[in-house]
Amino acid sequence: MSHNIKILPGATVCEDCTLEGDITIGGGTVIHPRVTIIAEGGPIIIAEYCIIEEYSTIIHKKSDKQESPPKALFIGAHNVFEVGCRLESIFGHIGENNIFECRSFVGVDVRIGSGCVVGAACCLTAQQVLVDNTVIWGSEHHIREALEKQPSQLLQLDFLSKVMPNYHRLRKPNVHKRQPSRQSTEPAK
Amino acid sequence: MAYLVQPDYVKYVCSCGQMKPITNLYFCRHCLKIRCGFCICHEVDSHYCANCLENMPSSEARLKKNRCSSCFDCPSCFHTLSTRATMVQPRQDPASGDAKVENKQPKKMYYLSCFNCRWTSRDVGIPDQPVASGGWPERVNPFANRFAQLMEYYKAIAQQEKQEKLDKERKKFAIRGNYITLTDKTGLTGAMARNRAGMPSSESTSSAIANFVLSQATEEVEELPDDYHSREVNLKMITTMPQRLASPEWQAQQVSRLQPIARPLSVKRSQRCRQCDHNLTKPEYNPGSIKFKIELLAFYHVPEVKIISYETIKPGVTSALLLKLTNPTAHEMQIQLIQPNEVPEIEEKEEPKNIEKSLEKSLNLEKDMSWKSVVERKPTLPSAIKVNNPELTFTLAQRDDAAEYDDDSHHDTNDIILWRKSNKLALRLQLTADENAKVGLPAVAVVALQYTYRNTVPPTSTQPRDHTLYTTVTIDLGIVSQ
Ligand SMILES: [Zn+2]
Ligand SMILES: [Zn+2]
Ligand SMILES: [Zn+2]
Ligand SMILES: [Zn+2]
């Protein structure tokens, strides 16, 4: 697998994590140690201001109906992946402001909008679409709809990007001066 | 820990006939009997909120409908709501055009939020509050009026019935003795009864009954909307049954009508032996404390039996059972294993009736012992497995927390006593299962202990300090196998 990891300026990416394949990490995003991101079925693009906590796994799985060139998995801004969560979605797009709580699991057949919360230890395997502001919680996977998006984690992000460099080895940003970072991915379609 | 997470393999027979693990039992030091939650008297000591630990007297708790005024539960998932703060830029008031600079200060506003299901008070349009606690809008029960009427009516009826009963009683006693007239003349009894029930005086009762309007059933019911059956249901918009039942006054059908639920109070309770009225447990008043002032648990007074291991039970076969016995008391204990049918029956003796007693009865205060016939029953003990008790009385040393560090030098181990360690010993017993024991049914052995107990209650001159007590234990040994 070719490794092509692009880290944009302003991103905080710990060295002690597994990044495989074609991955782009947007500015302001914080990736904790022990995170696994594997782009085997196509590139993964993580937008700005995401938090990806320890032991979480994001996999862009190889599917049978692989398009060529492979479609990218685009993860929107302000998503939070809490400790130990796992995302295997193959759908091209994950919205913004979602929270994947601790040890949650999102399988390949799940489409996720914006402002959704997948509760701690909730396991979504069946084919489904989470419309915007869906909240799933509890062992019985109760579903409710929140009125507004979850509050942003900007304060936490600010704190993390200040503190992390003091305690962890970081990967250096390797993409410079690419001003309209979003646009460069768009014409590929 | 084993008692919390494992099934109850060893159960003790309570004096009321219930079978419970030793951790669920109490020991009355005055009756010298095992008691359990089923046969003792539970009393509410104090009300407190388990979230903010504020406690309040019962009158205040009743006034607040047993709910905390500052804590709320999530109406969606019933988790406790947390108060969250946000900085809000106050909106510019167009009316007062001049005051610009001062108003630009961001203001702290608070809202309630659930960390479990992420429900917030903003979801249902409750405005943010400028103070961290309190001030949340209260909803009025739409049937509050009717509710009050009903309460008044039934209180009046209860009052009336009480009065009638009292009158009857008084007539009865008027014939028997004359000491009762003293209380009668002072009107003490009636006033007391009213006081105790917290009721108004008798004049208002009759008017309350007379003025009460009964509910009327009607045949005319509002029509259902036309699209009632055809309308598509959005499950995210309607509430679940548990959500509706959590606030019975409103029973909101729409998610958008949910309201924070004032948190129900918890109680600290003390428990009392019904036989002798002594306290078995009494908690400390402070809600933050989990300690007890009185804590007469069986675990501290009755020898503890634990299974070490056992052989599979087969019909007609003798097998071995290893038990561990522990003496939890601060005194040496003599223990002998006996058959359950050898346990002598001890009648709980009734105290002699005297004048004071009948006076109590006239005041309706006499201890009502009718519970006994309802609560108590003889346990049915399985008899398929016979424990071949050794003809041996053994001594268990007192509990000694320092003993752990000693080297035990004397060991009187033999065929029956496997080992000894301070206040514990292990026994090897022989079990004989009945020939006819059904394969596949639970195998339960029953063994009775006769043990000596030194009572440390300050002795009255008539009571001996040392007692011989009995307890029966059932031991779960899996199922009878082939
Ligand atoms: Zn007692
Ligand atoms: Zn009992
Ligand atoms: Zn409270
Ligand atoms: Zn909730």
Q: How confident is the model at residue A189 (pLDDT cuts 50, 70, 90)?
A: very low
Test B118 with A138 for CB contact under 8 angstroms.
no
Is residue B205 pLDDT above 50, yes or no?
A: yes
Contact predicate B139/B121, CB 8 Å: no
Q: How confident is the model at residue B114 (pLDDT cuts 50, 70, 90)?
A: very high
Q: Evaluate the CA torsion angle B327, B330, B333, B338 in order and state its sign.
A: negative
Q: Give A37→chain B minimum CA distance, Å.
A: 27
Is residue B349 pLDDT above 80, yes or no?
A: no
State the CB neighbour count (10 A cutoff) for residue B319: 18
Chain A, nearest residue to B78 by Cα? A138
Q: How confident is the model at residue B99 (pLDDT cuts 50, 70, 90)?
A: very low
Share of chain B above pLDDT 70, in %: 82
Is residue A140 pLDDT above 70, yes or no?
A: yes
- pLDDT (tens digit per residue) in B117-171: 999 998 888 888 888 877 788 888 888 888 888 988 999 999 989 989 988 888 7
H/E/C letters for each residue in B463-481? CCCEEEEEEEEEEEEEECC
Q: What pLDDT is stored for residue B265 in this prediction?
A: 94
- Separation between Cα atoms, residue A1 and residue A15, nearest integer Å: 19
- Separation between Cα atoms, residue B116 and residue A61, nearest integer Å: 30
Is residue B354 pLDDT above 80, yes or no?
A: no
Instruction: Provide the pairing of β-strand A117-118 with A99-100.
Output: parallel
Q: What pLDDT is stored for residue B409 in this prediction?
A: 54
Q: How confident is the model at residue B433 (pLDDT cuts 50, 70, 90)?
A: confident
Q: What pLDDT is stored for residue A188 in this prediction?
A: 42
Chain B, nearest residue to A135 by Cα? B117
Cβ-Cβ contacts under 8 Å, B242 against chain A: none
- pLDDT (tens digit per residue) in B9-67: 999 999 888 999 999 999 998 888 999 999 999 999 999 999 999 988 989 999 888 99
Is residue B353 pLDDT above 50, yes or no?
A: no
- Single-letter code of the amino acid located at B376: E
- pLDDT (tens digit per residue) in A86-129: 999 777 789 999 999 999 999 988 889 999 999 999 999 998 99
For the ranges A18-32, B168-182, B222-236, B441-455, the lowest mean pLDDT is seen at: B168-182
pTM of the model: 0.74
- pLDDT (tens digit per residue) in A35-81: 999 998 889 999 999 999 999 999 988 877 766 778 889 999 999 99
Spell out the residues 6+ positions from residue B71 whose beta carbon is closer than 8 angstroms to its own. B49, B51, B52, B80, B81, B262, B263
Nearest Cα to B110, choosing from B99, B122, B98?
Answer: B122
Test B235 with A143 for CB contact under 8 angstroms.
yes
Test B117 with A148 for CB contact under 8 angstroms.
no
Cβ-Cβ contacts under 8 Å, B117 against chain A: 119, 135, 137-138, 142, 144
Residue A135 has its nearest CB partner, among B118, B237, B240, at B118
- Separation between Cα atoms, residue B58 and residue B273, nearest integer Å: 23
3-state helix, strand, coil in chain B (%, to 5): 25, 30, 45
Q: What are phi and psi of B95, to 5 degrees?
A: -65, -45
As beta bridge partners, residue B447 has B473
Residue A144 has its nearest CB partner, among B86, B122, B255, at B255
- Separation between Cα atoms, residue B439 and residue B315, nearest integer Å: 7
Q: Return mean pLDDT, chain B.
A: 82
Mean predicted confidence (pLDDT) in A15-33: 93
- Separation between Cα atoms, residue B446 and residue B437, nearest integer Å: 15
Q: How confident is the model at residue A187 (pLDDT cuts 50, 70, 90)?
A: very low
Q: How confident is the model at residue B225 (pLDDT cuts 50, 70, 90)?
A: confident
- Separation between Cα atoms, residue B117 and residue B126, nearest integer Å: 17
| Site of tokens 């009954």 | B209
Chain A, nearest residue to B124 by Cα? A147
- Indicate which of B117, B240, B257 best probes the interface with A, i.e. most A CBs within 10 Å of its own CB: B117
- pLDDT (tens digit per residue) in B367-420: 667 777 777 888 888 888 888 877 778 888 888 877 666 665 566 677 788 888
Provide ipTM, 2 decimals. Answer: 0.81
Test A144 with B122 for CB contact under 8 angstroms.
no
Structure tokens that stand for B315 in this block: 């019909």
